[in-house]
Amino acid sequence: MKNNVEIEESWKEALSAEFDKPYFLKLVEFVKAEKKQQVIYPPGPRIFSAFAHTPLLKVKVVILGQDPYHGEGQAHGLCFSVPDGIPFPPSLNNIFKELKDDLGIDKPRSGNLEGWADQGVLLLNTTLTVCQAAPASHAGKGWETFTDEVIRIISLRKEGVVFILWGNHAKKKQALINTSKHVVLSAAHPSPLSAYAGFFGCKHFSKTNEILKRIGLEPINW
Residue by residue, pLDDT tens for the chain (222 residues) are 344 577 999 999 999 999 999 999 999 999 999 999 999 999 999 999 999 999 999 999 999 999 999 999 999 999 999 999 999 999 999 999 999 999 999 999 999 999 999 999 999 999 999 999 999 999 999 999 999 999 999 999 999 999 999 999 999 999 999 999 999 999 999 999 999 999 999 999 999 999 999 999 999 999
**Which candidate in 20, 67, 101, 102 is catalytic?**
67
Q: How far apart are CA 168 and CA 189, in angstroms?
A: 8
Q: How far apart are CA 97 and CA 148, in angstroms?
A: 29
Beta partners for residue 166, in sequence order? 187
Answer yes or no: 67 catalytic.
yes
Residue-level pLDDT at 3: 43
Burial, 217: exposed, middle or buried (Cβ in 10 Å; 0-12, 13-18, 19+)? middle
Of 129, 132, 144, the closest CA to residue 24 belongs to: 144
Alpha helix locations (H) across 108-222?
A: 114-117, 143-157, 168-171, 204-214
Residue-level pLDDT at 119: 98
Q: How far apart are CA 185 and CA 174, in angstroms?
A: 10
Which residues have a Cβ under 8 Å from the Cβ of 108 and sit 6 or more positions away?
96
Of 197, 161, 198, the closest CA to residue 177 belongs to: 161
Which residues have a Cβ under 8 Å from the Cβ of 202 and sit 6 or more positions away?
98, 185, 187, 188
- pTM of the predicted structure, to 2 decimals: 0.97
Residue-level pLDDT at 95: 98
